[in-house]
Amino acid sequence: MPVLLFDGECGLCNHIVRLMLRADRAGRLRYAPLQGAEAQAYLRAQGLPTADFDSLVFVADWTDPVPGGYALRTDGALAAAAVVGGAWRPVTWLRVLPRGLRDFGYKLVARSRYALFGEYRPTPLPKPAWAERFL
């Protein structure tokens, strides 16, 4: 079961997660905020920072967490887009760009995401069915 760990306090991140939820009608991808207990336990087990939320984390198989079985920044975003498919599939074409270039752009947005898109205050999910898609 693939899982996307995202900054739960980031307005942009939450908006993108909602777009992915709408597009992923088959429910192939699960989600968890990086600040949550499940994500924090995973980050600790993988030796990843537990207080730095400037990168999303894509976990290929949550049920079998092998060391290094995750992708960060644009690699993670592209992996999540591939799982969701549909309208997100063209986003995966960005993989042809060098990772350094992709991640440079990612880091620029990540550094200023709160200023550009605001902070997110959790609200009830618009669709109760989406609740089962979160860890």
Predicted TM-score (pTM) above 0.85? yes
CB 98 within 8 A of CB 74: no
Q: What is the CA radius of gyration of the chain?
A: 14
Predicted confidence at residue 125, as pLDDT, reads 65
CB 8 within 8 A of CB 15: no
pLDDT tens digits, residue range 17-40? 999 999 999 999 999 999 999 999
Q: What is the mean pLDDT of the chain?
A: 90
Indicate the domain borders of the chain. 3-133
Q: What is the DSSP string of the chain?
A: --EEEE-TTBHHHHHHHHHHHHH-TT---EEEETTSHHHHHHHHHHT--SS--SS-EEES-TTS--TT-EEEHHHHHHHHHHHH-GGGGGGGGGGGS-HHHHHHHHHHHHHHHHHHH-B------SSGGGGGGB-
